[in-house]
């Protein structure tokens, strides 16, 4: 998920440096918890049940532990690739970054909300911010796309599915399974769901607003003018919630509003981005259009 700036404090020399007070055991513990919750989500078949409150979790373990293990490994690979992209790019540019903090959830629909990484973003230049922000989604997609393709190719057709497919998955399904009607539903399986989570995480993070990856990228592309794009996205999201009843996005909109729609300046806003980065940045604006799902769950 997005890379957020972290608090900074003076060191013994009086210089401002990132405050890396969170010990290694915290990211490791969160990773372990996420492994457990994603394993359980795969075991129960991605159902909206709460860990510890559903007796079927234990009963299904002996039968579906392989599905749970496959989903756990695949979804953690997708999320780890995304965060590793941010981390490696940040360290390559000399920007201090934390290890990723994976976000486990007790609701076994997916078992995770993704992951976040902290970095000293205010010390990044315009080019560095662009590289760090784009590296995560690209690395995540490199893993998520083939994982989802395998899940679609080996999946069983179903009359309906709780999980809506993003546009790019619909195109992949048409290519991989031409015998199926356009818009056909596929029964959830471990690889399909791992790819689905990757698409959802990528689509959300590439929305061009605030401290999301997409917000970093449009600021690198357009500078101060990006605030008008971010504000338009926020207003559109609020309008969709009110007019279309998309209440599933209320929490997300509240979080973004609290963070602020506008992006803070970089260390060097005057640094030219260059034609290659500009072209890649403009192309990256297509990512949320093909991965984002306005209604991820097809509740009826």
Task: Tell me: pLDDT of 268 over 60.
Answer: yes
Concatenating the DSSP letter of every residue in 154-212 gives TPPEES--SBPPPHHHHHHHHHH-TTSPTT-EE---HHHHHHHHHHHHHHHHTSSSTTS
Domain that holds residue 270: 3-291
Question: How many domains is the chain partitioned into structurally?
Answer: 1
Alpha-carbon distances of 119 from 3, 124, 146, 155, rounded to whole Å: 6, 9, 29, 39
| Surface-to-core class of residue 256, CB atoms within 10 Å of its CB (0-12 exposed, 13-18 middle, 19+ buried) | buried
**Within-domain flag for 244:** yes
In this predicted structure, what is the pLDDT of residue 56? 62
**Within-domain flag for 143:** yes
In this predicted structure, what is the pLDDT of residue 208? 93
Task: Tell me: pLDDT of 23 over 70.
Answer: no
Over residues 168-174, the mean pLDDT reads: 94
CB 86 within 8 A of CB 119: yes
Task: Tell me: pLDDT of 3 over 60.
Answer: no
**Within-domain flag for 21:** yes
Task: Using pLDDT thresholds of 50, 70 and 90, give the confidence band for residue 98.
Answer: confident
Terminus-to-terminus CA distance in the chain, angstroms?
A: 29
Element (H, E) at 232: helix 226-244
pLDDT, tens digit (0-9, with 9 covering 90-100), for 179-225: 998 888 999 999 999 999 999 999 999 999 988 999 999 999 999 99
**Within-domain flag for 67:** yes
């Amino acid at each position: 998920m997005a890379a957020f700036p972290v608090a900074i404090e003076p060191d013994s020399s009086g210089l401002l440096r990132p405050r890396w007070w969170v010990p290694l055991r915290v990211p490791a513990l969160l990773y372990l918890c996420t492994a457990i919750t994603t394993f359980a989500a795969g075991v129960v078949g991605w159902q909206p049940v709460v860990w510890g409150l559903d007796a079927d979790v234990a009963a299904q373990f002996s039968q579906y532990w392989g599905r749970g293990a496959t989903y756990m490994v695949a979804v953690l690979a997708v999320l780890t690739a995304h965060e590793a992209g941010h981390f490696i790019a940040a360290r390559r540019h000399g920007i201090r970054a934390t290890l990723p903090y994976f976000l486990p959830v007790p609701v076994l629909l997916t078992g995770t909300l993704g992951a976040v990484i902290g970095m000293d973003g205010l010390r990044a230049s315009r080019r560095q911010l662009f590289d760090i922000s784009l590296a995560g989604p690209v690395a995540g997609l490199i893993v998520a796309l083939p994982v989802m393709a395998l899940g679609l190719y080996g999946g069983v057709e179903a009359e309906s599915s709780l999980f809506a497919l993003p546009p790019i998955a619909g195109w992949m399904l048409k290519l991989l399974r031409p015998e199926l009607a356009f818009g056909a539903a596929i029964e959830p399986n471990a690889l399909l769901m791992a790819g689905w989570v990757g698409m959802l995480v990528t689509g959300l993070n590439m929305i061009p607003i605030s401290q999301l990856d997409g917000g970093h990228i449009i600021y690198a592309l357009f500078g101060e003018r990006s605030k008008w794009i971010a504000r338009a996205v926020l207003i559109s999201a609020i309008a969709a919630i009110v007019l279309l009843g998309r209440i599933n996005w209320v929490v997300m909109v509240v979080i973004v509003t609290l963070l602020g729609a506008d992006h803070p300046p970089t260390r060097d806003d005057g640094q030219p981005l260059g034609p290659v980065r500009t072209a890649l940045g403009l192309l990256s604006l297509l990512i949320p259009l093909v991965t984002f799902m306005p209604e991820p769950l097809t509740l009826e």
